[in-house]
Amino acid sequence: MTTAVVTTEAPTERAVAPPARPARRGRPPRAHRPVGGAGASVLLWGYAALALVPLLLMLSNSFRSNADLITDPLGLPAPPTTASYVEAWTTGNVATYFGNSLAVTVGAVAISTTVATMAAYALARGRSRIFRWLESLFLSGLMLPIHLAILPIFYLFDGLGLIDSRLGLMLMYAASGIPFSIFVLTTFFRQLPEELEEAAALDGASSWQTFWRIMVPLVRPALATVAVFRFVPIWNDFLFPLVLLRREEKYTLPVGLTNFFGENATNYSAVFAGLVITTIPLIVLFLVATKQIVAGLTAGMAK
């Protein structure tokens, strides 16, 4: 669902939506009295608790034993036990799923960001009309609900021998991330002065050297936004691995969890542990990269 964030942006509108514009969007509102007073503050913090408590319950319950969970559903982990983690990680195969998810997600993000950065640079700088046309083609991908093409993708994978292949899944995700990455990165490249390349050319740098040594370091903030923001939907995606993977040892976490949940429907604490393990990388990512995630979420907003 996160990929849908920019889907309404018609390609022609991209020029008015620079992704990072701290001057306007982040401008702190002038100090005036909080609307709604103390009552509203209670509401805001109360809702924050409602947003957070289920996640905290997930965490807290994962450190309790199963018997404990059943006898006292509202209890706290006192003393905490990590037995359910050991169980999920080893006998529950969550370790395997975790490794697969990590490999597929990191690989896809790396491939997607690399090829999209190269393409975005050429699209931002190319003067020929073919680049305008290619750019519209890529950006049309923002509006395509790729999940609806799962059937042809399945037969394509079948033909290429990529069914039950983590590499295939990785390439699929890498490709589906290209439109968003190009969308964000072309805007950034366009903001860089052309004099940089002219100076580099005078000094005898090739196109590749100019791109790699000069331009890429300058768009690093945008690269971070793209990479972090693509990580989340790939990590969480469910339909593709459900359809394209066959054997349990290839499963990524979301599909692995359905397996695990099915087999351990009564072993609640182990399930909680599995859910926590699936969520931890995203929470860590969110804490270290809140700024990039927020920038990604609002990248599609023209106004």
Partner 1 sequence: MRRRTGLVFVAPALALFAVFVLYPMVTAFSYAFFHWQGTSRGGFAGVENFATLFTRAPFTTDLPQALLHNVLFFVGTMLIQNTFGLTIAYLLYSRPRSRRVLQTLYAMPYLVSPIVIGYLWTLLLSPTFGPVNTLLTRIGLDSWALPWLGDPKTALWVVILVSVWQWIGFPVLLYGAALGGVPEELTEAARVDGATNRQAFFKITLPLLVPAIGTVSVLTFIFAMEAFALPYAFGGSTGNPAGSTDFVSLLFYRTAFDSGATDAIGSSSALATLLFLIIFGGAYAATSVLRRHERRITA
What part of residues 171-210 is at the interface with partner 1 (CB under 8 A)? 171-172, 174-176, 178-179, 182, 197, 207
Task: Specify the stretch interacting with partner 1 by CB under 8 A; choose among 31-39, 82-90, 91-99, 219-227.
Answer: 31-39
Which residue in the block uniquely carries the two structure tokens 């690989």? Answer: 107
> Among residues 57, 110, 167, 199, which is the contact residue for partner 1, using CB under 8 A?
57
User: Token pair of 270, please?
Assistant: 């182990």
* Among 252, 235, 294, 223, CA closest to 5: 294
Q: What is d(CA 108, CA 238) in angstroms, rounded to the nearest whole number?
A: 15
Residue identified by tokens 């990785």 is 170
Q: What's the start-to-end Cα distance of the chain, in Å?
A: 21
**CB nearer partner 1, residue 51 or residue 79:** 51
Q: Please tell me whether residue 136 binds partner 1 under the rule CB under 8 A.
A: no
For residue 78, state whether it binds partner 1 (rule: CB under 8 A). Answer: no
Q: Tell me which residues in 262-291 interact with partner 1 (CB under 8 A).
A: 268, 271-272, 275, 278-279, 282-283, 285-286, 290
The reply to whether 217 sits near partner 1 by the rule CB under 8 A is no
Position 253: which residue type? L
Site for partner 1 contains 70 (CB under 8 A): yes
Assess 104 for contact with partner 1 (CB under 8 A).
Answer: no
Q: How far is the CB of 129 from partner 1 (least distance, A)?
A: 10
Question: Crossing angle, helix 220-236 and helix 290-297, to 10 degrees?
Answer: 80
The C-alpha angle 108, 113, 117, rounded to 5 degrees, equals 155
